[in-house]
C-alpha cells in the first residue's frame, strides 16, 4: 500500500470503530429513552421481537444515520484493499507458485466440475464485490486476498494478529472440555482462506487438518498462506452438503461463521454430512451467531441488522432455527447437545484455557460481539460410540 492508501485504510478502520462502538451505544440509548416508549404508546406493549425493535428504530433519524455510515464504511473497506491487490496480483500468483514448489507441505485439490451454489454466486455476501468465488484469470487468488486484507481494517484486532482467534479459542476449549477426545483428523467446513483451520493445526500439531470451501480463489490463497506459515494443511473444493469423505473419517468437524451463510433448507444436509463423517466419539462444533431465542429483542435485532442491510440473506432465517433440534435431526442424541460461549484466547492467553472453570453458559450479556470483551458462541455435540 502507498502512504495515501494506508491513511485511507486507517480512516476507514476508525470510522467503523466509531460506528460499531460509539454510535451503536448512542443508538441503544436513543431507543431506550425515546423509541421504545413511543412504540409502547402506539401499540400498547413494549417491543418483544427483533421485528418490533426494527419497526421502532426505523422511526428515528439516528438509526438512519447509523445504518448509512455502517453501509458506507463496509463499501469503503473493499475500495481500500482492491486497488493495492490489483497491482499485487501478478506477484501473488508468482509467490503462490513459488511456495508450492519450495514447500510441498499440505495439499490443494480443486474440482473444476463443482457448481458454486447460488447462495454464494447470486449475491455479493457482506457487500464484497465478486463474493468469494469470482475468478479474474487462471489460478486466481484475488478474492481470497480481498477477504483477508479487509479483516484487519474491519475488526480492530478482535481476531488476533493472525486472524485466527476463533479457531485458536475453540480448539483450546475442545482440548480442555473433552480431554478424552483423540484428535487425529479435523475437518473445517466453509474454511474460506483457512484462518481458523490453522488454529486447530496449532493446538493439535500432529493432527491431519482439512478445510473445504466452494470458492477456488479462497482455497488457492489459503493453501499458499498455510505454506507461507509452514502449516501443513489440506484444502479441498467441496460442498459441505455433499462431502467427498468416507464415513467415520474425522474426529472433529468444525465451522466458523459458516452456517449463517447457508440457506436454512440446506443446513440439515450439512449437519447430517458432519454426523456421517464423524468417528464414534467425535466432536462437532460450529462457532456461529447465537439463536434469536437466546438474546433480548434489542440485542437480537442488532445482529439481524446485517440481514437487512449488509447482504446477508440467510442471517435471520438461521438465527430463528433451534440448534438443539438441528443437532438431533442430524443423528446425534438430544442429550449430547453442547453449547458454549468461548472467551478469546488472544485476549486471555493459554493460562485461562489450561483449566477452564468459568461459566460458559449462553446469555444475552456475554454472547458474541454484544459482550464486554470477545466471546464466541458455539454449538454442537459428541457422537456416541455405542
Q: Print the domain residue range for 75.
A: 3-106
Whether 140 shows a pLDDT value over 90: the answer reads yes
The whole-number pLDDT of residue 368 equals 52
Task: Specify if 10 maps to a domain.
Answer: yes
Map residue 189 onto helix, strand or coil.
strand
For strand 337-343 and strand 250-256, is the pairing parallel, antiparallel, or unpaired?
unpaired
76 phi and psi, to 5 degrees?
-65, -30
Contact in structure between 249 and 225 (CB atoms under 8 Å): no
> Of 313, 305, 345, nearest to 23 (Cα)?
305
For strand 278-287 and strand 375-382, is the pairing parallel, antiparallel, or unpaired?
antiparallel
Q: What is the mean pLDDT of residues 194-211?
A: 98
Task: Specify if 82 maps to a domain.
Answer: yes
Helices (H), the chain: 3-17, 24-30, 36-43, 50-57, 61-102, 118-121, 142-155, 165-177, 195-203, 216-228, 267-277, 297-309, 315-319, 323-329, 345-348, 350-354
The whole-number pLDDT of residue 148 equals 96
Task: Specify if 49 maps to a domain.
Answer: yes
pLDDT band at 374 (very low <50, low <70, confident <90, very high): confident
Q: What pTM did the predictor assign?
A: 0.95
Whether 292 shows a pLDDT value over 60: the answer reads yes
Residue found by looking up cell 413494549 in the block: 46
Whether 364 shows a pLDDT value over 50: the answer reads no
Q: What is the mean pLDDT of residues 365-374?
A: 55
Compute the mean pLDDT over every residue in the chain, rounded to the nearest whole number: 93
Task: Specify if 321 maps to a domain.
Answer: no
Q: What is the mean pLDDT of residues 242-256?
A: 98
270-298 burial, b if ≥16 CB within 10 A, otherwise e?
bbebbbbbbbebbbbbbbbbbbbebbbbb
Number of residues written out for the chain: 386
Contact in structure between 104 and 149 (CB atoms under 8 Å): no
pLDDT band at 349 (very low <50, low <70, confident <90, very high): confident
Per-residue pLDDT tens digits for 212-235:
999 999 999 999 999 999 999 999
325-348 burial, b if ≥16 CB within 10 A, otherwise e?
ebbbebebeeeebbbbbbbbbbee
Q: What is the mean pLDDT of residues 247-269?
A: 97
Per-residue pLDDT tens digits for 68-87:
999 999 999 999 999 999 99
The whole-number pLDDT of residue 158 equals 87
Task: Specify if 140 maps to a domain.
Answer: no
Whether 199 shows a pLDDT value over 50: the answer reads yes
Whether 301 shows a pLDDT value over 80: the answer reads yes
* Grid cell locating 231: 502449516
358: which residues sit within 8 A by CB, 6+ positions away?
A: 343, 352
Whether 202 shows a pLDDT value over 60: the answer reads yes
Contact in structure between 347 and 157 (CB atoms under 8 Å): no
- What distance separates the 2 farthest-apart alpha carbons in the chain? 69
Contact in structure between 326 and 268 (CB atoms under 8 Å): yes
Task: Specify if 33 maps to a domain.
Answer: yes
The whole-number pLDDT of residue 270 equals 98
Task: Specify if 15 maps to a domain.
Answer: yes
Contact in structure between 57 and 27 (CB atoms under 8 Å): yes
The whole-number pLDDT of residue 362 equals 56
The whole-number pLDDT of residue 360 equals 63
Task: Look at the chain and report how many structural domains it folds into.
Answer: 1
Q: What is the mean pLDDT of residues 241-245?
A: 98
The whole-number pLDDT of residue 70 equals 97
Per-residue pLDDT tens digits for 3-56:
999 999 999 999 999 999 999 999 999 999 999 999 999 999 999 999 999 999
Could you count the other beta carbons within 10 Å of the beta carbon of residue 21? 11
d(CA 144, CA 223): 10
88-103 burial, b if ≥16 CB within 10 A, otherwise e?
ebeebbeebeebbeee
Map residue 199 onto helix, strand or coil.
helix
pLDDT band at 249 (very low <50, low <70, confident <90, very high): very high
d(CA 287, CA 380): 9
> Of 382, 384, 350, 386, nearest to 178 (Cα)?
382
pLDDT band at 367 (very low <50, low <70, confident <90, very high): low
Task: Specify if 349 maps to a domain.
Answer: no
Amino acid at each position: 500500500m502507498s502512504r495515501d492508501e494506508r491513511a485511507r485504510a486507517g480512516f476507514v478502520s476508525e470510522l467503523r470503530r466509531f460506528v460499531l462502538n460509539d454510535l451503536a451505544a448512542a443508538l441503544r440509548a436513543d431507543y431506550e429513552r425515546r423509541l421504545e416508549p413511543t412504540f409502547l404508546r402506539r401499540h400498547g406493549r413494549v417491543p418483544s421481537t427483533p421485528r418490533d425493535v426494527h419497526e421502532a428504530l426505523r422511526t428515528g433519524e439516528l438509526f438512519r444515520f447509523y445504518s448509512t455510515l455502517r453501509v458506507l464504511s463496509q463499501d469503503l473497506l473493499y475500495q481500500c484493499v482492491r486497488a493495492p491487490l490489483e497491482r499485487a496480483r501478478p506477484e501473488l500468483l508468482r509467490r503462490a507458485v513459488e511456495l508450492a514448489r519450495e514447500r510441498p507441505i499440505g495439499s490443494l485439490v480443486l474440482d473444476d466440475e463443482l457448481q458454486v451454489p447460488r447462495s454464494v454466486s447470486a449475491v455479493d455476501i457482506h457487500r464484497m464485490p465478486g463474493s468469494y468465488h469470482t475468478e479474474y484469470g487462471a489460478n486466481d487468488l484475488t478474492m481470497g486476498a480481498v477477504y483477508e486484507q479487509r479483516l484487519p481494517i474491519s475488526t480492530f484486532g478482535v481476531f488476533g494478529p493472525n486472524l485466527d482467534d476463533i479457531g485458536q479459542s475453540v480448539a483450546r476449549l475442545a482440548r480442555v472440555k473433552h480431554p478424552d477426545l483423540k484428535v487425529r483428523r479435523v475437518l473445517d467446513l466453509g474454511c474460506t482462506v483457512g484462518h481458523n483451520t490453522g488454529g486447530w493445526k496449532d493446538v493439535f500439531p500432529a493432527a491431519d487438518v482439512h478445510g473445504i470451501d466452494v470458492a477456488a480463489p479462497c482455497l488457492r490463497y489459503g493453501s499458499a498462506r498455510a505454506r507461507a506459515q509452514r502449516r501443513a494443511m489440506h484444502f479441498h473444493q467441496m460442498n459441505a452438503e455433499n462431502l467427498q469423505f468416507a464415513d467415520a473419517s474425522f474426529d472433529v468437524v468444525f465451522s466458523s461463521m459458516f452456517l449463517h451463510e447457508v440457506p436454512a433448507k440446506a443446513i440439515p444436509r450439512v449437519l447430517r454430512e458432519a454426523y456421517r463423517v464423524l468417528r464414534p466419539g467425535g466432536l462437532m462444533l460450529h462457532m456461529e451467531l447465537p439463536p434469536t431465542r437466546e438474546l433480548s429483542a434489542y440485542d437480537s435485532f442488532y445482529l439481524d441488522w446485517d440481514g437487512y442491510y449488509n447482504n446477508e440473506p440467510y442471517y435471520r432465517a438461521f438465527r430463528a432455527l433451534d440448534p438443539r433440534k438441528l443437532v438431533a435431526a442430524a443423528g446425534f442424541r438430544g442429550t449430547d447437545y453442547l453449547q458454549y460461549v468461548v472467551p478469546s484466547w488472544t485476549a486471555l492467553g493459554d493460562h485461562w484455557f489450561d483449566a477452564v472453570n468459568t461459566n460458559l453458559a449462553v446469555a444475552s450479556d456475554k454472547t458474541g460481539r454484544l459482550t464486554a470483551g470477545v466471546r464466541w458462541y458455539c454449538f454442537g455435540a459428541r457422537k456416541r460410540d455405542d
